[in-house]
Each structure stands twice: as C-alpha cells, then as structure tokens.
C-alpha cells in the first residue's frame, strides 16, 4: 500500500470493466486499495465477459503479444447464443504489420469504422498484378431439399410464382400437354401441416391435396374459377418418420380449358413389398379426376340470410366443444392453426357453421387458391355433423372422404379474408349403421357470396387401426442398455512403474498403496486432506504442483494415476438437497481441475488414469452372476461416470478407466482392484462384485412383449395427475402432448419461465379437449419453490400418479476451457432438482417417476463433460430409488428434432449427427416413451438412433473400444487401411511424405468444416474458415487416429493453418520413422547381446531372493511382449 500511495486516479473517457470486481467502473476508484485488491483477489475474467455480452457487447479485441483469451471469449458468446467477433492484435512468429491489418479487416467487416486517416495517411499509386484476373463465378442458388431429385425438373417460362405447394415443373418432350410436378411436403415447413392427426399419427389432409390440384389448374389453364369433376380419393396419407412425404402430380390437357389429373405418393419404406415379398411400384395413386373452367354455375339454393339459417337449427355448439367431440368420437386431432369453427348449429340433416380463420394462419398466408386451413374447416363441418349411431363403441373410427361428383371454386378468396359461413346438407344416408353418407356443402363469404361448393361428396366410416406396426417398430432398434460381461485376469500381473494415488476419506487409498508396495511398485499417496477444495483456477495450480512433486517433469510410459477422491460414506435420504448439491459440485470441480492440470502439462506420454467409485452403477445382472447383491447405491458418484465417458471423447489418446467397487469393500476386493489395474487390459469401464470382474458393453434393449393374461404396461389414468418438470416447452411439452393422446386429463406443467404464446395456444387446444392443465412457475432447483409448486398441485388436482423430470440446461465447452460458471447452472436442475423431487414425493403412490437424461452420460459426448456428469447423477438416482422399492426410470435420450436443447442450438444437432447420433422426431419420441411405460424396464435405458458406421468415421479409436463390441461393423478393414497408409508414409521421401500428409489433413478438415477439400485454403487460419473449439477438438481426434500420434488439445491453435500444421506433422512423422528405424537396429543388437549374456552364468542371480527373481523374469517377459 505504501508503494502505491502516490496514485491519483481520475475518470476515464472509455467504458472500463474491472476483472477484479466483474463490474463497470468510472476509473476514479483505481486507487492504492484497488490495486492491492487486484494483487490479492482471483481474476474474474469469465464473469466480466459474461456481463459484457449480456449488455450487448459483441466485438472484442485482445491486445497482447500472443492470443490467450480469444477462445474463452468465443466460448462465452457461444454459450449465450450470441453472434460476435473476437480478434487478436498479434501472434508469435507472424509478421506484425500483416497481422494487425488482417485483424483490422475483420473488425471492418463487422461494421467497425477505422480512422482511415491514421490507417492510410496518404494515397499512393501501386502496380496491378501482372497475372490476369482469376474470373470465377459464384451464382446464387436457392437451397433445395433434395438437389438430386430437383435437378430433373426445370421451371417453365411464364409460370406463376404464387404456387406454394407445387414443386419443380417438368413437361416431357414426347407428351405434349402433359405436365408433372414433384414435391416433398415437410411437416416442419408450414405449421398447419403438422397439426392434422388421426389417432395420434400425422396425416396429409384431403384439403391439401385439393389445393395442389387447384394450383396446377391455375398454372396450366390460366383460370381462377374451376370445376373438378368425378374426383376419387384412394388413400389417406400419413407422413414418414421424419415428417415428410413425396408427392407427384400429373395434369394432362385434354382440350381447351379441360384437363385430367392424377396425384401419386411415393410409398413409405415398409410399403414397397407385397405380402409375398415381391417389389411393387413405389408410386401409388392417391387421387384422380378432371378439371375445367367453371361456367357461370348456379350455387345450390341456400338462403344467404344467416339469421334464417341459424334460426332453423337447434342450439349451437361452441367451436371448442366441436373439436373436443371430434377428438373423442373419431380420434381426429386438429392443432390451433386448423381450428376455424367458431359455432355450429344442426337440425334435420342440415348443419350451419360460422367459420373464422385463426389469426396465425392469416399472418402467415401465402397466395393459395384457397387456404388449406379454410378447406380443412369445410371438411370439419361435414365430419362433425356425421354420427355413426349404429356402430359399436369398440369400433372407434372416423369418416373419410372417398369421392365427390363436383368441386366448384367460384372465386379466389382474398388472402386476408377471415369470416365465412358453411352450410352442409345430407343428401343420402346409405344404411342404418351410418357407415356412409352423401352430402353437399356450400361455403359463403362474409357478404354471403358463394366461394366454393362440393356436390355429391361421399364419406365412408373407417374403423381406426392401432398405430401402424412400422410406426411402432421403427424405433425398436433405438433402445439400448449396458450389459456387464465377465472377465478373467492374466496371472501374475506386474506392479511396475510409478503410481500416484489421490486418496479418499475411507482409507481405501492407503490400503491399496500398501498392496502395491508389497508387490514391488513405487507409489506416492496424496491424502484426502491435501486434495484441493478452492476455486477452480487455484485447484488446477494445486494439482499441477502435487503431480510435479510426485513425478517431476520427466516422462515415463509406465506411470499410473488412481483417483479415489469420490469415495465417501453411503448416500441416504437423510442428506439434504444442499448437502447433495454441494457434494456433487465440489467433486466435479475437483476432477475438472485435475484433468485440466494434466492437459496443461502437455505430456507426450500421459499417465494412465483410473477413476474409482463405490456403488455408482446399477448392476443387477452382474450381481446375479457374482452371487451377491449390492448393499447401496450412490448417485453422487454416478456423476463421475458420465463425466469421464465424455472426457474420453475429448482426449482419446488418454487411457482413462472407470472402476466401480462394491459398497463396503473388503481386503479381497482391494486385492482384486490392484490386480485389475496392474493387468493393463484394453477395457475402460469395470465393476467389481464379489469374486468377479465385469466390463461394460453397450447392447440393444428389447422391451418385453406382454404375455396373455398378464399386463406389465403402466396405464395412463384419467383420474390421476401427471407432473412434468420442464413441461412448458421443448421435449417436456411434446411428452405432455403424448400423455393427452394416451388419456391423461390432469397435467401439471412446471417451468422457471411463463409459457410462451405458442405454448399457450397448445394448452388452449388441450383444454378444449377436456384436459385440465395447471401451469406451475417454479425453479425445480429451488427447494422452497418446488415444495410450494407441489403443494399447489395437491390442492387443485387429484393425487399424483406420475412424475417426469425433463428440465435441463446446456453450457457446452471443451473441458480445457470449462469454468465454474459453466458447471453450476448445468448441475442445478439435475442434482438439486432431482434430489429435491425425490425427497418431496417419497410418500406419493406413483405409477412412474421418470428422469430425462442425455445420451451423453451413457455414450459420452465431446464438449459436454458437465452435462454428461449432471445426467450421470440422475441415472444413478433412478437406480437408487429402485433399490428402495420406489418406481424410477432414467431415459438417456438422443437429440430431438424441432424441440429440445439440440434443436435450439442447431450446431449441436449437426455435430451430433456427424458423430452418428441421428435426430428423434417428436412423434417418435412420444411413441418410444409410451413403449417404455412398463414395469419390466430396467432403471436406465438409452433411446437414440445410433449410426455406428458414422460413429466409426468420426472417431475410429472410440468405435474400436470394447464398449461397442456388440455393435461393431467393418472396423478391422478400416484399421488395416490406416496401418497400410502409415507404412506408406514411412517408406516415401520427405517431400512425398509432406504431400501425402497435407492431403490427409485437408480431407479431415474439410469433412469437419463441411467444405469441399479444394476450398480449404492452406494459408488462411482454420478459424477464419469456420472452425470453432469443438470442431478443433474433432479435427484433432481424427488426426490422432489417422497418424497414430498423441497431439496437444491446442494443436490447431498453435498451428492454425493447413500449411503450418502440415509442416509440424511432417516433422513429427519424420522423427517417428527415424526413431523406429534406429530402434529396430538397436533391438537386433540387443537381442544378440542378450542371447550371449544369457548363455553365461551370472553370479548376481544367486544374491537375489525368489520374489526378486520372479519380478525380474516377469519384467523381461513384458519387455519381450512389448518389443514383439
């Protein structure tokens, strides 16, 4: 303080943020006390940048001799979902002037206006390049859904642009007057396409097909008043599992103003073969008829006085009641965009309806001939008026439009017209069972002028089938669980090398170290009290110091690090929410600090890492094989399994293993643990139970079929309540929709934020269908808010029968850049929320309690060690509840399309797809969830469409792991090709080697950046070409596998261009080739010398004990095996 007393701070002219206090300051506060605080307090850089981004700052410049903070700022922008620009001033080994100008250019592109007088003080003449201009055209090409298919179709000159549903047009040269259009309808493209469901299955309504024909007629016949004659509809179409359907329309001109049409649909995969297994025509006829110019036809004699029409009818039904009746009686679900009936009156076979198009449909209107929502409303009036009085209640079905004599369009309604009147009259009732009707329908506008008319429409009653078998079976291959395979250990294992143990509070580490010493190994033990518990940055430094003190800086390939810090007394319900949350957070931060310190050490030969837990895995199958049952499970330690599984994805060159011990392990268990570690097997996930050792295998899970007379299904009860935490959006809201389809009538949806406007529309629809929905605004991680929300549910709703915990938070970052601020929010809903829900609902008589976990905790996922660890906790919590006799299931979901965290962050879904994890469509997820509502399900099931071949391509090293043994395909041939390529590198000259290496790097970079290889510029940084930190990690992993090298996690930032990275790897591979050549020569000479020496008697052997001779012999044998 005395040295700083003379400082006289003053108010600054530029906004100033302090990384000591993480807040803005004027400048006058920067006195001696502040700078003393600066020296003593930790740097709060992450919190400061977080506030800057929140306040709108999106352009950052790091002024330093070499960039150190650029990546951290980019991670914060990415975390908050903000677009921004982060540039550096200088970089080592780069020309300073060029670097500064390049960064200034980046700022200019972002809109920053430099002081040009300083940059270019005076103009000067320069010579143009002597080579000619490289003229290359880059024409704008609209994005197409299927470029291969669209290339077959070209637009015709003069075609109109107001044809929203028709695809590319094609007129064959040998068929004059014939026109084809082909389109792939996507339920996600227009909102109303996904809001028409029959028995829960998305269908393409007849109204949409009619609009397609009207658009084609408008294009070819150039008319606006049409008459469709003798129209036949052959089949109701449903969307495929991706919410798409491919259609083809053919229109053939017969004479002036007259044409016939046929509409075809491309069959779904399951429909391409007949009952005999023979291939059939993939195109099926859906609709046919003819179209012509409508003469001045006279509408049906219907009074245009609405008052008279309404007076002739009985008391009207409100629109909400109409749609509830359609859903309950006929299984017809219409979303908010398709609910246009305001009121409906009926009497003596006549029906009158007042129609009003939803404002959302009008706001998004495109120039249709007749808006599909309006045509759908016309058909809804007909559907709602027909009642199958003679059908048995068990024969639930709906009326389907089969054909009609005529459809007349008198004029094209204005796009913004909203109010209409519909009139329907039953012309003929075919039988007493009411299985078929013939009706007429007239649509009038607000001025009572006719818009369109349907004459002689025939509807037949179709009994609804159960969900199509294909729809049920398509996700059966998505169910996974972990199987445990018994292993045998080689004997005797060798306890060689240096061992470092981070001990636990139960004394397991001390007992294990004694065993290693007795067996001849060198071991250092760090007591549990010395394991750091401070802030993350300080923990990293402390771990680095402890490791250096134990091993120094010299690298040895035989080092092993055993982490036992997670072991603790058994978990019980006596633990409070705060206790459990603190335990899990503290443990994750310790392990994160440990692995960050190891990564920063930059070892070429990193030590093998062992992470030991106790009772973290649900091992029912293994216990039966071992003949012993676990005494308790600890969900807190399960966190470590999710964390390490993801860590392996980021550091595949590290050898990381997980071992789960029996709770209350004895000396025999510890001896077996020591033998397992010394054996150095290829596995990386083990459990020790009784006298056996088991290794993890990912296996498909088949939901048991119900036996006759026995029901293991968990029914959804109309008299029970269902709580969905995180149910006001995303996956939780989608599952809530699925529950309504299964008969749920009381839904409590809990969320931190109020429901969005879109969600409110969805809730209105459910309420109209008779579903009671209670919105509970509460943070599940806040115990008091959670308790209050549960009490509200108990007061207003029937008893709880099921709980679904779907709340989650993402803060993705590679583990090296992960901060405490990115860990705590991710843990909170899973740990505090999960444990709080468990404690507060223990006494409820629940049919199910389901945690929504992520595939990351089961398979691992790069950039998600925090998220995977949080989900690992709920995986363990489900097993913990099961052991207590309480219902529980943890579902490890893959990424969902359209909804969910992966859908909100598009790059996350794309990255997972590149790694082989395909998307789950919402309806598929709903059906998979319903399939798992069974009493026979294990405590943990993975649900994800896993493309194993894609996983192999993304990371062959991971795909070769024993964990994927049951799913492995074609790996041996890939490994052989890689080995042959490496041998080729060693045999060519240095110049040829460089060319081969550059080509391989270019290929791997192009695949990750999704660029053509030729577009990867050798002299421009990868970051400039679109690389982010997670992409850098994936490229690094690919290069490690391809070159069989251990590469630094920051290699693509240290060598940021194709040119510099090629030079570095060429140097590495050259040294490796020379080293192998010299090693072969040395091995040959050593073998000859050893043979000669072995023939001579050694007096030294007589001085050794029997144990020393055995250890020496085992070491020699191990060296021989390694050399061979």
pLDDT in tens, 929-970: 988 998 889 999 999 888 776 666 666 566 678 888 887 654
Topology (CATH level 3) of domain 168-293: Thiol Ester Dehydrase; Chain A (3.10.129)
Inter-residue contact 465 to 314 (CB < 8 Å) = no
- Rounded CA separation 253/390 (Å): 44
More confident residue, 636 or 1124: 636
In what helix (H) or strand (E) does residue 404 lie, and over which residues does it extend? Answer: strand 397-409
In this predicted model, what pLDDT tens digit does every residue of 289-301 receive, in sequence order? 999 887 655 555 5
As given in the structure block, the two tokens for residue 1001 are 């790097």
pLDDT value for 543: 93
Convert 1022-1042 to b/e letters by CB count within 10 Å (16 or more is b): bbebebbbbbbbbbbbbbbbb
Q: 34, 26 in Cβ contact below 8 A?
A: no
Residue 156, pLDDT score = 36
Nearest Cα residue to 270 out of 479, 475, 476, 474: 474
Reported as a pLDDT band with limits 50, 70 and 90, residue 151 is very low
Stretch 992-1001: mean pLDDT, rounded? 86
On whether the CB atoms of residues 232 and 288 are closer than 8 A, the answer is yes
Residue-range domain boundaries for the chain: 2-115, 168-293, 316-388+395-467, 483-611+619-700, 721-951, 988-1075
User: What is the third-level CATH fold of 988-1075?
Assistant: 1.10.1200
Query: Rounded CA gap, 787 and 1090, in Å?
Result: 75
Q: What is the mean pLDDT of residues 836-845?
A: 96
523 Cβ contact partners less than 8 Å away, ≥ 6 residues apart: 498, 499, 500, 501, 513, 516, 517
Residue 846: phi and psi, rounded to 5, are -90, 145
Closest CA to 328 of 15, 766, 701, 22: 766
Buried b (16+ CB within 10 A) or exposed e, 677-702: bbbbbebbbbbbbbebbbbbbbbebe
In angstroms, the Cα distances linking 510 to 4, 42, 235, 506, 548 are 50, 34, 73, 9, 21
CA distance 1043 to 1062: 12
The CA distance from 499 to 513, in Å, is: 9
- Domain 483-611+619-700 - what CATH class? alpha beta
Q: Would you say the C-alpha torsion 73, 75, 79, 84 has a positive or negative sign?
A: positive
Q: Return the closest-CA partner of residue 246 out of 265, 271, 263, 268.
A: 265
Give CA separation, 140 vs 137, 167, 169, 974, in Å: 10, 19, 20, 39
Tell the CATH topology of 721-951.
Rossmann fold (3.40.50)
- What distance in Å separates the CA atoms of residue 428 and residue 391, rounded to the nearest whole number? 18
DSSP letters along 281-348, please?
A: -SEEEEEEEEEEE--SPPPPS----HHHHHHTS-SPEEHHHHHHHHHHHH-EEE-GGG--EEEEEEET
Q: Specify whether the CB–CB gap between 237 and 248 falls below 8 A.
A: no
The answer to whether 597 and 547 have CB atoms below 8 angstroms apart is yes
Determine the length of the chain.
1124
Q: Which of the pair, 797 or 496, is modelled with greater confidence?
A: 797
Say if residues 720 and 798 touch (Cβ distance below 8 Å).
Answer: yes
What number of CA atoms fall less than 13 Å from residue 665's CA on the CB side?
29
Helix (H, G, I), strand (E, B) or coil at 350: strand
The 10s digit of each residue's pLDDT in 632-649 is: 789 999 999 999 999 998
Residue of 214, 232, 253 lying closest to 409 (CA atoms):
214
Q: What is the pLDDT of residues 1053-1073, one digit of tens each?
A: 888 899 899 888 888 776 555
- Residue 279: pLDDT above 60? yes
Assess whether pLDDT exceeds 50 at residue 1091: no
Q: Are 282 and 397 in contact (CB under 8 A)?
A: no
CA distances from 229 to 294, 482, 745 (A): 11, 60, 44
**What 3 state SS string does 634-656 have?**
CHHHHHHHHHHHHHHHHCCCCCE
Question: If you average pLDDT over residues 782-793, what whole number do you get?
Answer: 96
Cβ contacts of 819 within 8 Å, gap of 6 or more? 46, 536, 813
* pTM confidence score: 0.59
Task: Select from 590, 541, 544, 585 the least CA-distant residue to 564.
Answer: 590
What tokens appear for 189 in the block?
A: 């493209």
**Which segment of 225-234, 486-495, 1111-1120 scores lowest on mean pLDDT?**
1111-1120
Q: Specify whether the CB–CB gap between 930 and 738 falls below 8 A.
A: yes
The mean-pLDDT minimum among 173-187, 232-246, 802-816 falls in: 232-246
Residues 84 and 109 sit within 8 Å (Cβ to Cβ): no
* Predicted pLDDT of residue 271: 56
What percent of the residues of the chain are helix, what percent strand, and what percent coil, each to the nearest 5?
A: 40, 20, 40
Rounded CA gap, 13 and 21, in Å? 20
> Does the fold of domain 316-388+395-467 match that of domain 168-293?
yes
3-state secondary structure 79-132: HCCCCCEEEECCCCCCCHHHHHHHHHHHHHHCCCCCCHHHHCCCCCCCCCCCCC
The pLDDT value recorded for residue 969 is 53
> How far apart, in whole angstroms, are the C-alpha atoms of residue 656 and residue 611?
8
Q: Are 866 and 822 in contact (CB under 8 A)?
A: yes
Residue 145 binned pLDDT confidence (cut-offs 50, 70, 90): very low
For 329-353, give one letter per residue: b (16+ CB within 10 A) or e.
Answer: bbbbbbbbbbbbbebbbbeeebbbb
Residues 6+ apart with CB under 8 A from 798: 719, 720, 721, 746
Residue 621 has pLDDT above 60, yes or no: no
High-pLDDT (> 70) share of the chain, %: 78
Tally of CA atoms within 13 A in the half-sphere of 846 that contains its CB = 23
Distance between CA atoms of residues 863 and 1034, nearest Å: 10
Summarised one tens digit per residue, pLDDT across range 266-275 is 887 555 555 5
* Percent share of the chain, pLDDT over 90: 29
H helix runs in 988-1028, sequence order: 990-1009
462 burial level (CB within 10 Å; 0-12, 13-18, 19+): middle
Helices 1058-1095, 971-987: axis angle to 10 degrees equals 90
For residue 875 the two structure tokens come to 């995986």
Query: 501 with 674: CB under 8 angstroms?
Result: no
Q: Rounded distance, CA 1091 to CA 1098, Å? A: 13
Distance of CA 276 to the CA centre of its chain: 39
The pLDDT of residue 765 is above 90: no
Residue whose pair of structure tokens reads 């973290």 in the numeric block: 616
The dihedral over CA atoms of 544, 547, 550, 555, expressed in degrees to the nearest 10, equals: -110
Q: What is the pLDDT of residue 970?
A: 43
Topology, domain 316-388+395-467: Thiol Ester Dehydrase; Chain A (3.10.129)
**pLDDT score of 587 more than 60:** yes
What is the CB-side half-sphere exposure of residue 86 using CA atoms within 13 A? 19
- What 8-state DSSP symbol labels residue 69? S
DSSP string, 148-206: HHHTT--PPTT--S--SS--EEE--TTSTTEEEEEEEEETTTSGGGGSEEETTEEEE-H
- CA-to-CA distance for 764 and 771, rounded, in angstroms? 9
Burial of 437 by CB count in 10 Å (0-12 exposed, 13-18 middle, 19+ buried)?
Answer: buried
Q: Give the pLDDT score at 188.
A: 61
The CATH number fitting domain 2-115, selected from 3.40.50.150, 3.10.105.10, 3.40.1670.10, 3.40.366.10? 3.40.366.10
Q: Can you say how many angstroms the Cα of residue 531 is from the centroid of all Cα atoms in its chain? A: 35
Kindly tell me if the per-residue pLDDT of 1097 is higher than 50: no
């Amino acid at each position: 303080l005395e040295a700083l007393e003379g400082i006289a701070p003053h108010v600054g002219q530029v906004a100033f943020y302090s990384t000591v206090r993480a807040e803005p300051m004027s400048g006058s506060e920067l006195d001696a006390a502040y700078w003393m605080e600066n020296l003593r307090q930790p740097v709060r850089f992450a919190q400061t940048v977080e506030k800057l981004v929140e306040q709108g700052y999106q352009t950052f410049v790091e002024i330093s001799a070499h960039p150190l903070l650029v990546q951290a700022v980019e991670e914060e922008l990415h975390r908050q979902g903000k677009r921004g620009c982060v540039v550096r001033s200088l970089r080592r080994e780069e020309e300073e002037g060029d670097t500064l100008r390049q960064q200034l250019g980046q700022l200019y592109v972002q809109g920053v206006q430099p002081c040009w007088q300083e940059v270019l003080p005076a103009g000067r003449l320069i010579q143009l390049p002597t080579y000619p201009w490289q003229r290359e055209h880059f024409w704008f090409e609209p994005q197409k859904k299927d470029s291969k298919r669209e290339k077959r179709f070209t637009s015709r000159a003069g075609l109109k642009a107001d044809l929203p549903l028709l695809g590319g047009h094609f007129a064959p040269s040998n068929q004059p007057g014939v026109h084809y259009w082909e389109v792939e309808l996507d339920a996600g493209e227009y909102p109303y396409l996904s809001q028409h469901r029959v028995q829960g299955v998305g269908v393409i309504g007849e109204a949409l097909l009619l609009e397609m024909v009207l658009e084609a007629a408008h294009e070819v016949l150039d008319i606006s008043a049409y008459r469709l004659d003798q129209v036949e509809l052959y089949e109701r179409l449903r969307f495929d599992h991706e919410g798409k359907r491919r259609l083809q329309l053919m229109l053939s001109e017969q004479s002036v103003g007259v044409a016939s049409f046929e509409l075809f649909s491309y069959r779904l995969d399951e429909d391409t073969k007949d009952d005999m297994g023979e291939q059939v025509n993939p195109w099926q006829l859906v609709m046919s008829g003819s179209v012509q110019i409508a003469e001045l036809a006279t509408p049906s004699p219907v009074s245009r006085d609405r008052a008279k029409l309404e007076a002739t009818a009985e008391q009207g039904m409100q629109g909400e009641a109409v749609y509830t009746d359609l859903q309950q009686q006929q299984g017809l679900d219409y979303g908010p965009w398709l609910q246009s009936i305001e009121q409906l009156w009926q009497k003596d076979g006549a029906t009158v309806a007042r129609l009003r198009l939803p404002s959302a449909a009008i706001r998004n209107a495109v120039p249709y001939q007749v808006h599909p929502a309006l045509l759908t409303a016309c058909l809804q009036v007909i559907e709602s008026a027909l009642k199958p009085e003679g059908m048995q209640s068990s024969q639930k079905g709906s009326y389907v439009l089969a054909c009609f004599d005529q459809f007349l369009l008198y004029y094209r309604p204005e796009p913004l017209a909203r109010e209409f009147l519909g009139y329907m009259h039953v012309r003929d009732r075919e039988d007493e069972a009411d299985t078929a009707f013939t009706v007429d329908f007239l649509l009038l506008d607000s001025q009572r002028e006719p818009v369109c008319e349907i004459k002689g429409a025939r509807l037949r009653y179709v009994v609804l089938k159960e969900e199509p078998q294909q729809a049920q079976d398509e996700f059966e291959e998505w169910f996974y669980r972990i199987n445990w395979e018994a292993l045998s250990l080689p004997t005797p294992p060798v306890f060689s090398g240096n061992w470092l143990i981070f001990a636990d509070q139960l004394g397991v580490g001390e007992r294990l170290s004694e065993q290693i010493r007795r067996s001849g190994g060198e071991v250092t033990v760090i007591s549990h009290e010395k394991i750091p518990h401070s802030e993350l940055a300080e923990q990293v430094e402390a771990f680095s110091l402890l490791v250096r003190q134990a091993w120094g800086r010299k690298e040895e390939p035989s080092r092993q690090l055993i982490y036992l810090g997670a072991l603790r007394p058994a978990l019980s319900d006596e633990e409070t929410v705060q206790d459990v949350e603190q335990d899990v957070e503290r443990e994750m931060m310790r392990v994160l600090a440990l692995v960050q310190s190891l990564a920063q050490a930059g070892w070429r030969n990193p030590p093998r890492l062992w992470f030991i837990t106790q009772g973290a895995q649900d091992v029912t199958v293994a216990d039966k094989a071992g003949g012993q049952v676990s005494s308790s499970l600890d969900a807190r330690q399960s966190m470590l399994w999710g964390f390490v599984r993801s860590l392996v994805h980021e550091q595949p060159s590290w050898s990381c293993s997980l071992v789960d011990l029996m709770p209350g392990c004895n000396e025999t268990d510890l001896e077996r643990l020591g033998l397992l570690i010394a054996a150095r097997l290829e596995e990386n996930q083990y459990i020790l139970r009784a006298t056996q050792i088991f290794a993890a295998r990912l296996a498909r899970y088949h939901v048991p079929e119900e036996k006759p007379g026995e029901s293991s299904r968990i029914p959804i009860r109309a008299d029970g309540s269902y709580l969905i935490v995180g149910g006001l959006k995303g996956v939780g809201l989608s599952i809530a929709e699925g529950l309504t389809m299964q008969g749920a009538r009381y839904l409590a949806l809990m969320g931190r934020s109020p429901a969005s406007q879109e969600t409110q529309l969805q809730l209105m629809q459910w309420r109209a269908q008779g579903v009671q929905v209670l919105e509970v605004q509460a943070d599940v991680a806040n115990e008091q808010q959670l308790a209050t929300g549960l009490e509200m549910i108990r007061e207003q709703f029937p008893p709880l029968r099921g709980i679904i915990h779907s709340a989650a938070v993402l803060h993705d970052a590679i583990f090296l850049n992960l901060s405490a601020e990115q860990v705590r929010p991710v843990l909170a809903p899973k740990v505090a929320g999960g444990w709080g829900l468990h404690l507060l609902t223990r006494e409820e008589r629940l049919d199910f309690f389901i945690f929504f976990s992520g595939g990351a905790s089961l398979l691992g996922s790069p950039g998600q060690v925090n998220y995977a660890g949080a989900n690992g906790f709920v995986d363990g919590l489900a097993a913990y509840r099961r052991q207590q006799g309480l219902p529980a299931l943890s579902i490890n979901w893959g990424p969902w399309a359209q909804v969910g965290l992966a859908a909100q962050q598009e790059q996350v879904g794309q990255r997972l797809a590149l790694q082989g994890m395909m998307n789950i469509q919402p309806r598929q997820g709903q059906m998979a969830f319903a399939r798992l509502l069974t009493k026979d399900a294990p405590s943990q099931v993975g649900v994800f469409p896993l493309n194993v071949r894609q996983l192999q391509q993304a990371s062959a090293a991971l795909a070769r792991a024993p964990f994927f043994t049951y799913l492995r395909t074609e790996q041996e041939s890939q490994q052989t090709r890689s080995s042959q390529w490496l041998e080729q590198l060693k045999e060519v000259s240095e110049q040829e080697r460089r060319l081969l290496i550059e080509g391989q790097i270019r290929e791997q970079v192009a695949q990750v950046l999704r660029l053509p290889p030729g577009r990867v510029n050798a002299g421009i940084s990868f970051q400039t070409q679109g690389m982010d930190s997670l992409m850098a990690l994936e490229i690094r992993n690919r290069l490690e596998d391809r070159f069989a090298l251990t590469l630094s996690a920051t290699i693509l930032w240290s060598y940021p261009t194709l040119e510099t990275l090629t030079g570095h790897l060429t140097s590495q591979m050259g040294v490796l080739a020379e080293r192998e050549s010299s090693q072969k020569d040395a091995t040959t000479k050593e073998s000859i010398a050893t043979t000669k020496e072995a023939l001579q008697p050694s007096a030294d052997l007589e001085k050794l004990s029997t144990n020393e001779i055995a250890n020496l012999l085992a070491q020699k044998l191990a060296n021989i095996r390694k050399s061979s």
